[in-house]
Every structure is written in C-alpha cells, then in structure tokens.
Structure 1
Amino acid sequence: MERKSRTHISRRTFMKGAAAGAALLGQGAPFIIRRASAADPIYVGVVSPASGNYADHGMMERLGMQMAAEEYKEKGILGRPVKLVVEDDETDPQVGARKARRLIEVDKVKYLTGGVSSSVAVSVGEVAQRYGGLFIGSNQNSDTLTEQYGRRSTFMVPPDMAMALRTLAPYLVEKVGKKWYFLTHDYEWGWSGTKWARNILQKFGGTDLGESKIPLNTRDFSAFLLKVRSAKPDALVITVGGVDLAALMEQMSEFGIYKETTVVSTLINLEDLWAVGP
C-alpha cells in the first residue's frame, strides 16, 4: 500500500478544511483532511476497543465510522477517498499507546480517532502529540482531556463530566436530597465524574457520605453495596461504565438497593443498557 511522505499541516489549515465539508460527522466520526493530490487516500487510524470492558461501545463507534467512510466512498473528501485502519486497544492505555505508535510508524497514519476509555484517550493523545499528528477523541468524557492533558493536537467530540454534572447535580440536590454516596470507576473518567458531583454537592451544602472506588473488570460488588446500605444515602451517585456497570446494576437489584435509595448514573450509554437486558 503506497502512501505519501509526511507533510505539515497547520491548525489553521485543518480548521479551514473542517469548514469545507462535513465528512465523517457525528459521535466517533470526525473527518480528516491533509494536503495531497486528489487521488491520495485519507487514512484515519482508529484505536478502539474490540475487547475489554468497553468492547460493546467500541463496536458501535466503529460501525458509525464505517458508515461515514462508506457514505463518502464514491465522492470522497475533496475528491479523496477515506480509508480506516483499525486497531483494538483492549480497553488498556498501554495497549492503546502501542497500537497508536504502530498506526503512525508502520501504517503511516497521521490522524487518529477512537479511544472509548478516557485513560486510553490520554495515552493515544500523547502519542499523537509526540509524532506531530492529530487525535480526535470520539467517545470519552473525562475533563482531564481538556484540562490536565489538554493538547493543541487533541480534539474532543463528546461533552466532559464538568458539563454533565453542572446540569445533573443541582437537579439531584433539589429533587432527591443532599446526602450522597459515590461509586467510582477507578480511572480517569470515574475520578472526573465523582470530582464534579462532589464539587456541586459541596456548593449546595450537602453531605458526602463516602466513596468506593471500583477497579476495572470488577464482577463482585457485594462489599461495595454493603457499604452503600450502611451509609443510607439519599442518592447513590455512580460513575461506572461498560460491562462493569451492567454487572453492578444486576447486583444492585439483587441487593434491593433500588428500593432503599435513588440510584443515579452520571453518564450511561445505550450499550450499557443492552448488556443488562429487559
């Protein structure tokens, strides 16, 4: 497969290209453009989970990207076809970084997208920055991507947790109560969700009853749920996702947690609900 050598593209040029056409639009489907001949394909490296906690999320974002690529198959973007080069990040930051380097070094990809896990997105964004490429995060929500790890080469499609909790938390205080307990996925996104929920709870004079941090790939939540029951919160505020969330929801039902308190997920996706079933 023949590719052109690396060419420089400024942020201004990229943004002008963005205004020129709405290609690969939507959640997880950014469009990419670089200077080249009309026949030269636009290669987009997709670092996305096909395994691990967010495999279902990864499948859906890849389907969306493929639909967008197929839509522009004939006319392309400014006459250039779009080709996706896909790698499985396994919902693991180190694997994601390694796959991103492979896409850049071996496949000569300059533009990366994907990374459902915020921790994976941080590592892929760092690789893109180091190699002078661009990374467009398709489906992650930690505000660390725009704050602590904010980079000129990283763009973020979905809202971050600061935006989500500034909308949700005041309503929760007013309608449910001011005593909260937190279940937090123990990585970038989970920390972000609980941080912002706590921030707003404090502003409203609420009571923080404690937190349990949930490691990725947890399947037995009994110890955590016993702590929730003991705390007797008005609201159980959860920032947990993927297969872990599906398992947690099933066990909360078994423990009768839904009858004892109001359960609130700071962010939930259709893929999570599919895993639980009716």
Structure 2
Amino acid sequence: MSRLKGAAAALALMLAPHLAAAQLSDEVVRIGVLTDLSGPYADFAGPGSVLATRMAIEDHGGKVLGKPVEVVNGDHQNKPDVGGSLARRWIDTDRVDMIIDMPNSSVALAVQQVGRERNRIIINSSASTTELTGRQCSPVGFHWTSDSYALSSGTTRAVMQQGGKSWYYLTVDYEGGYALERGSEGVVKAEGGQSLGHARHPLNTSDFSSFLLQAQASKAQVVALANAGTDTINAIKQAGEFGLTKGGQRLVGMFVNVNDVKALGLQTAQGVVTVEAWYWDQSDETRAFARRFAERNRGTVPSQYQAGIYSAVRHYLKAVEAAGTDEATAVAAKMRALPVNDVFTKNGVVRADGRHVHDLYLVEVKKPAESTGPWDLYKVLATVPAAQAFKPLDAACPLVKP
C-alpha cells in the first residue's frame, strides 16, 4: 500500500506540469503588440515596443506553463476602427491572448472595449487618457506606464512653482490631447493661475505656424504642448523659429520622451521640464537593460513606454504562471494581486481599476555643457511618490467599490 501511495504521488508530480499546461487555451500563449509602426509615435513605441516584448519573453525563459510564447505585431495607423478591427481578428481568428501598447488614446479605448467584450487581457502602455481606468475601465484592462494626469499635473505644478501663472495650450485634436489639457488646466486653476485658451491641431501636423501665432498673441507666460511624438518635435523646432522663447514665453512639453530630446538636440530642448516614468540612467540595473536594448535597436535606448512594456509583459507572464491558466479573468486577478518588481519599478502596485501605480520622476533637459554622452539628456530633479503621481481611484469606474 505504501509503495502504491508513493507511486501515485510520483505520478502526480510528473503530471503536474502537463495538467497546468492543459489549462492554456491552446498550445501556445500569443501576445499581440498593437502599435504605431510608421507614424508620429513610432520612435517612443513602434518597433521598440515589439523588441521590448520579445526581450521580456526571452528573460522569462521563452515559455510559460511549459508552452512557448509567441509575438504578433500590427500597425493601428492611429485609427480607432483599424485598431479595433485588428484586435478582433487577432482574438477571433489568431487566438491572441493578450494585446499591449496602443499609443493613441482613441485607439486604446476602442481596443479596451474589444477586450472587455471578448474577455482578453488588454494592457495599455503608451496611451495617456485616464478614461482607461475611469468610466471606461475594464475587468481585463490595465494601464501601465503613465497617463495624462501624471504627465500633466506633475509638469504643470513644477512650472507654476517657477512662476508660470498664465497658460496657453497647443493640443492635438483627439482624446489624448484633450486629457493632457484638462489635467493641466485643472492644476492651473486650482493653484490660482489662468488658462488663456487653446489651439487644436490635427495629428501629425508639419506646419504649426498658425497655431504658434495664436499662442504668441495670447501673451501667456507658458505655451504648453498637449501632444506627442513628431508633433511635439515639430512644435518645439518651429516655436524657436518664431521666437516664442526669446520673447519671454516658456515652452513646456506634456508628453516629452528621450527620443524627442535626442531628435531636437540639447541646444534646442535644454531647460524643458517634464515627468518621466523611467529613465535609462537611474541605476546599474537600468543601464545594463538599456545597453542590451540599444544593441538590438540601432544604438537607441528604450523610452519610458518601451521599458513599461517590458515590465507589463513580464508581469503578465508571471500572472499566467501563478493562475495556472491563460483565461483572462483568472490572469487579471493575479495581475492585481502580485507586486511589480523589475527593471522598470520596485514595489509597484496594480489597483482595482487596472492602474499600475509607481513612482515618477521630475526631470529637466540638460544644457549641452552638462551632458557627458549621446544619451545623457536629463537631470532628475525629484522623485514623485506613487501616491501623489497618479489620480486617486475614480468612483466612475464600476470596479471601484465605494
């Protein structure tokens, strides 16, 4: 009898990995990177987001529950209908288990709705709207790296403390831009400042002359760029040509990334204050990760959003392991329960609304004389604690209990 019990126990141990693997929906876990591969957000997301996903899978061991992890990628073209359609096809036909990235808030909201309908994990890393964890939150939806509240409120407070009381906004004409503008205006008004208006520009604008003339005519002390990617780069370049800063107005970027600063050059971008969720030159660990990434990315270090994708994919794979299945509801529960500890952040927390909460960093672009290397672009002014960095839980989210 004892020999039979021992044999049964041994058999159970041998079968355990196979039983766990059998809880996968098929013989592979598939991750879809839905991003901007060729448009205005391709530098801080795009192909680098795909690389960050692959690196996360490799560093996890290439398998989960004994089965391989595969990656597919697609370009949403910054169109919600294209992003939503591709997400549906991936889920319905290609059996994709998780979709990540979505730079462009309108696309992100559309894809999160698809995930809610079809019970698939959706992780937004590069989108900014807080609606993802507000009224349109999802039981299987997550918002990872940063958001419009964190970006706009932190930057606005810092500039107001330095004397910037009147503001004018150059805002990209879709939800991501509106969210940045709303967040900043809320801080300006709460702290006794003035919002003198806004100019709305189309996505991927090459000529900002008319918008900058409106900003110049406003006489606002601060001209805030509620846009991103090449829109931010073009606006900053042309603002210099129009003499906004020489005339005493200060230019502030709400969604500035290391890629933007590199493209602009320190001579043009010096002194810009912004908030970053992650910077490559923070520690030996971040520098080592950045070197590995740059070796496979034509010498370019990861943006905060690409580092966030690496973190989110690692966390997702750990949650699948912990849940013993890739079923979205079970995995989502583990994602909310497990702490986040990796190269991106330490002791990060995933809230009930799906918001990943972690420290942020107030940074200033260095002067050319202060830089010691091609990617030595920022000096860190302060750490913004997680509790202050992100918007409190929103009662509009059905997942938030009173």
Give the structure-2-normalised TM-score. Answer: 0.57
The equivalent residue for 1:257 is 244
Pair member with larger Rg: 2
Which of 214, 223, 226 aligns to 2:201? It is 214
Shift of 1:263: 0.7
> Residue by residue, what CA displacement relative to the aligned partner does 1:83-121 show, whole Å, maximum 9, x if unpaired?
111111112211111110110122011321121111111
Shift of 1:271: 2.5
> Residue by residue, what CA displacement relative to the aligned partner does 1:153-185 show, whole Å, maximum 9, x if unpaired?
210111222223332222222213211111111
* Residues 179 and 35 of structure 1, relative CA distance in 2, 3 Å threshold: farther
CA–CA distance in structure 1, aligned partners of residues 192 and 111 of structure 2: 39
**Residue 113 in structure 1 maps to residue 104 in structure 2:** no
CA–CA distance in structure 2, aligned partners of residues 34 and 192 of structure 1: 42
The equivalent residue for 2:264 is 276
* Residues 259 and 35 of structure 1, relative CA distance in 2, 3 Å threshold: farther
Shift of 1:221: 0.7
Shift of 1:39: 9.1
Instruction: Report if aligned partners of 1:39, 1:79 keep a CA contact under 8 Å in 2.
Output: no
Task: Point out 4+ residue stretches in structure 1 off by more than 6 angstroms.
Answer: none
Gaps of 5+ in 2: 1-19, 267-402
Which of 111, 118, 121 aligns to 1:134? It is 121
CA–CA distance in structure 1, aligned partners of residues 240 and 161 of structure 2: 25
* Residues 34 and 46 of structure 1, relative CA distance in 2, 3 Å threshold: farther
> Residue by residue, what CA displacement relative to the aligned partner does 1:173-222 show, whole Å, maximum 9, x if unpaired?
22132111111111111111110111111111211111011110211111
Which of 161, 164, 167 aligns to 2:148? It is 161
Shift of 1:80: 2.5
* Residues 35 and 246 of structure 1, relative CA distance in 2, 3 Å threshold: farther
> Residue by residue, what CA displacement relative to the aligned partner does 1:13-50 show, whole Å, maximum 9, x if unpaired?
xxxxxxxxxxxxxxxxxxxx986369922111221111
Shift of 1:62: 1.4
**Residue 235 in structure 1 maps to residue 233 in structure 2:** no
The equivalent residue for 1:197 is 184
Letter in 2 for 1:69: I
* Residues 227 and 37 of structure 1, relative CA distance in 2, 3 Å threshold: closer
Letter in 1 for 2:37: A
Aligned residues: 245
Secondary structure at 2:67 match in 1: coil
Listed as ranges, the matches of 1:32-51 within 5 Å are: 36=23, 40-51=27-38
Shift of 1:139: 1.6
CA–CA distance in structure 1, aligned partners of residues 153 and 25 of structure 2: 45
The equivalent residue for 1:177 is 164
Which of 140, 143, 147 aligns to 2:130? It is 143
CA–CA distance in structure 2, aligned partners of residues 47 and 39 of structure 1: 21
CA–CA distance in structure 2, aligned partners of residues 143 and 226 of structure 1: 30
Root-mean-square deviation (CA, aligned residues, Å) is: 2.1
Instruction: Report if aligned partners of 1:54, 1:91 keep a CA contact under 8 Å in 2.
Output: no
Secondary structure at 2:169 match in 1: strand
* Residues 39 and 47 of structure 1, relative CA distance in 2, 3 Å threshold: closer
CA–CA distance in structure 1, aligned partners of residues 181 and 216 of structure 2: 19
Shift of 1:265: 0.9
Larger RCO: 1 or 2 (CA < 8 Å, sep 6+)? 2
The equivalent residue for 1:24 is none
Shift of 1:277: 4.5
**Residue 69 in structure 1 maps to residue 57 in structure 2:** yes
CA–CA distance in structure 2, aligned partners of residues 129 and 107 of structure 1: 18
CA–CA distance in structure 1, aligned partners of residues 76 and 129 of structure 2: 18
Secondary structure at 1:258 match in 2: coil
Letter in 2 for 1:45: G
